[in-house]
Amino acid sequence: MSSDKKVILITGANTGLGYEIVKALYATSVPYELIIGSRTLSKADDAIKILQSEVASSPSTLSTLQIDVSSDTSLEAAVKTVEGKHGRIDILINNAGATFDGAVPDGTMSLREAFNASWDTNVSGTHVLTTLAVPLLLKSADPRLLFITSGTSSMTETDPSLWETVPTLARLNASPAKGWPKPHTLVSFPSYRSAKAGLNMLMREWARILKEDGVKVWAISPGFLATSLGGAGKEQLLKMGALEPHIGGEFVRDVVEGKRDHDAGKAIRSNMVQPW
């Protein structure tokens, strides 16, 4: 049944940045229909229990949705469920993503398997879901489409001339010592970085395609957050300069609430437009 509350679907919402996005929206005084998309419904249910213990009260409504971006069957069923229950989507937050680069050195994936999985999860699945969801977005009075990208996707910032003023860029982009094989480190994520760069182009395509339909589109670069995405522990990431995950959630909430409408069609960070 249709509601006056804005309907927001967040993929990968049971953990990490996705959870923090839900929490930031749930904690506001604005009422939303928050749909927690997750591959495993029991994990989404657990996320709701934790959220309700952390936020005492909210005018928003929470629900769960089984959604796996690597499965067309799952995506089709998910969109059909949302259509039957809500009739529209006001905001789609394509947050689900993963890195598989670490699976190559530990032997659980071949190089090709890791690259294909990264692109399938971060780009292809996101594109399929967006395509299926567009008819529901166009039923919204203020449709918004968000793609969660990464600061590591910036090709401009691989330019060594920039590293002197921004030391973190050197840590991310500097070349290893000569010889082969090269060591695998926390900042060696070629499939993830290239997939997120591809996602930025996908965002630009959707911004172009939906411009005359009034859909506002962004790629959101949430910053270096202490989540489990890279496979490192939270404390280690904090020592490396990562931010608390709630900061990323609050940034996405600001975009939902219209505070970055002037930057629609761009890849954005909390304090700037991210260089391509």
Residue-wise pLDDT for 146-200, tens only, equals 999 999 999 999 999 988 888 788 888 888 889 998 887 655 789 999 999 999 9
The pLDDT of residue 209 is 98
Least confident range of 26-30, 157-161, 222-226: 222-226
**Which residue among the candidates 32, 38, 192, 221 is catalytic per the annotation?**
192
Q: List the catalytic residue out of 19, 196, 216, 221.
A: 196
Q: How far apart are the first and last CA of the chain?
A: 41
Residue 196 designated active-site: yes
Distance CA 196, CA 199 (A): 5
* Residue 230: pLDDT over 60: no
Domain boundaries, the chain: 6-273
Provide the pLDDT for residue 240.
Answer: 55
Question: Is 188 a residue of the active site?
Answer: no
Instruction: Give the residue from 223, 194, 213 showing the smallest Cα distance to 264.
Output: 213
Instruction: Choose between 170 and 17: higher pLDDT.
Output: 17
> Quick one: which H or E segment has residue 64?
strand 61-66
Query: What's the gap between Cα 265 and its chain centre?
Result: 16
pLDDT tops 70 at residue 233: no
How far are the Cα atoms of 13, 129, 164, 263 from residue 35, in angstroms, in the given order?
Answer: 8, 15, 43, 25
Q: pLDDT value at position 242?
A: 63
pLDDT > 70 in the chain, percent = 92
Q: Is the pLDDT of residue 56 over 60?
A: yes
Cα–Cα dist 220/150, whole Å: 8
Q: Is 192 a catalytic residue?
A: yes
Side chain identity, residue 204: R
pLDDT band with cut points at 50, 70 and 90 for residue 236? low
The band of 225, judged by pLDDT with boundaries at 50, 70 and 90, is low
Q: What is the mean pLDDT of residues 49-69?
A: 97
C-alpha–C-alpha distance, residues 66 and 64, integer Å: 7
Pairing mode of beta strands 6-10, 91-94: parallel
What is 161-218 written as a DSSP string? GGTTT-HHHHHHHPPPPSSSSPPP-TT--HHHHHHHHHHHHHHHHHHHHTGGGT-EEE
Topology adopted by domain 6-273: Rossmann fold (3.40.50)
Q: Name the pLDDT band for 229 (thresholds 50, 70, 90).
A: low
Contact, 171 vs 189, CB < 8 A? no
**Predicted TM-score of the model (pTM):** 0.94
Above 90 in pLDDT, residue 243?
no
| Percent over 90 (pLDDT), the chain | 78
Dihedral sign for Cα 17, 65, 10, 70, please: positive
* Structure-token pair, residue 105: 């050195």
Q: Choosing from 150, 191, 194, 221, which is the catalytic residue?
A: 150
Asked which of 75-84, 233-242, 246-255, 259-268 is least confident by mean pLDDT, the reply is 233-242
pLDDT at 135 over 90: yes
- Asked whether residue 228 carries a pLDDT value surpassing 70, the answer given is no
The pLDDT of 231-247, averaged and rounded, is 67
